[in-house]
Amino acid sequence: MSAMRLCSPLLVCLAAALFSGAVISSPHMWTKLVLTHHWPNTFCSMEHCHPNISYWTLHGLWPDQGIDCNNSWHFNSSQIEDLLPDMEKSWPDLRRPLSAGFWKYEWQKHGTCAAKAATLNTQHKYFSKALELYHKVDLTSILRKFDIIPSEKYYTFSQVEGVIENFYGIKPKIQCAHSSKNADVQILGQIEICFDSDFNLLDCEKHFIMNTVSKAGWDDDRAINKASGFMVCDHDMPVYYPPLP
């Protein structure tokens, strides 16, 4: 594929340079952050919603340790009022577009744990950092740049993964849904890009020697994301990247 020939070490260095910056100095329990993207057309084919969105949306920013770390720290949209226009576009609730319930859920489950780091210890810091990383990654544009576009044709898994690995210089976690109509094809649905505690790009498969608090098992390559029905894509099965109907 022509996309593979276009990638170079220079692009890896360019992508890596985008993510240098903030340093976390205070102790915290997590060591990895997962920036999770949804492909809306796939998500809504499973959840019976009807988005008119042709770009990858933000699902969440998840620390690798802990869930629901502070049930008394309630979500307050007034603290992120300046972020709301971007939130509504980049981090929409695909099932309930007029609701803030999705953001409330992400803050309660993941944000209160991410907040153990000084750089993410307010609601505004957490949501603004998630948006910042989402825009820097710019997943939709990078896939399109290297000819991975929604279409009726099928891709190999290595084509999709290869673009991300060659541009960003890290291994992502790519998840698919399985078609009830064609058991020989998987549907591209969720892509995770990972960062270390200083917000530098990191292989998503990298594990740290710590006790895992989360029961969801999201970082186990064999695990199914029960909330979405996605599971890690089969490396040998064709990948369908569905366009809008």
Q: In this predicted model, what pLDDT tens digit does every residue of 179-215 receive, in sequence order?
A: 777 889 999 999 999 999 999 999 998 654 333 333 3
Question: Among positive and negative, which fits the CA dihedral 77, 62, 49, 244?
Answer: positive
User: Containing domain of residue 139, as a range?
Assistant: 2-240
Q: Are 178 and 186 in contact (CB under 8 A)?
A: yes
Q: What is the pLDDT of residue 8?
A: 53
217 within domain boundaries: yes
192 within domain boundaries: yes
Q: What is the C-alpha separation between 88 and 179, in angstroms, rounded?
A: 29
245 within domain boundaries: no
110 carries an active-site annotation:
yes
Residue of 28, 37, 106, 161 marked catalytic:
106
Q: Which amino acid is at 45?
A: S
pLDDT along the chain (245 residues), means of 10: 46 53 50 97 90 94 96 97 97 93 98 97 98 98 98 97 98 92 92 97 72 32 48 96 91
Residue of 37, 110, 161, 192 marked catalytic:
110
Residue of 28, 37, 38, 59 marked catalytic:
59
The shares of helix, strand and coil residues in the chain, as percent rounded to the nearest 5, are 35, 15, 45
8 within domain boundaries: yes
Q: Where on the phi/psi map is residue 147: left (φ > 0), alpha (ψ -120 to 50), or beta?
A: left
Q: What is the pLDDT of residue 59?
A: 97
Which secondary structure element, helix H or strand E, spans residue 25, and what is its range?
A: none
Both tokens of residue 90?
Answer: 């980049």
Q: What is the pLDDT of residue 48?
A: 83
88 carries an active-site annotation:
no
102 within domain boundaries: yes
192 carries an active-site annotation:
no
Total number of domains constituting the chain: 1
Q: What is the pLDDT of residue 21?
A: 44
> Residue 221's domain is classified under what CATH number?
3.90.730.10
Q: What is the pLDDT of residue 11?
A: 52
Q: What is the C-alpha separation between 12 and 239, in angstroms, rounded?
A: 25
Q: What is the pLDDT of residue 223?
A: 32
Spatial CB neighbours of 215, under 8 Å, sequence gap ≥ 6: 67
Q: How many residues does the chain have?
A: 245
Both tokens of residue 159?
Answer: 């084509």
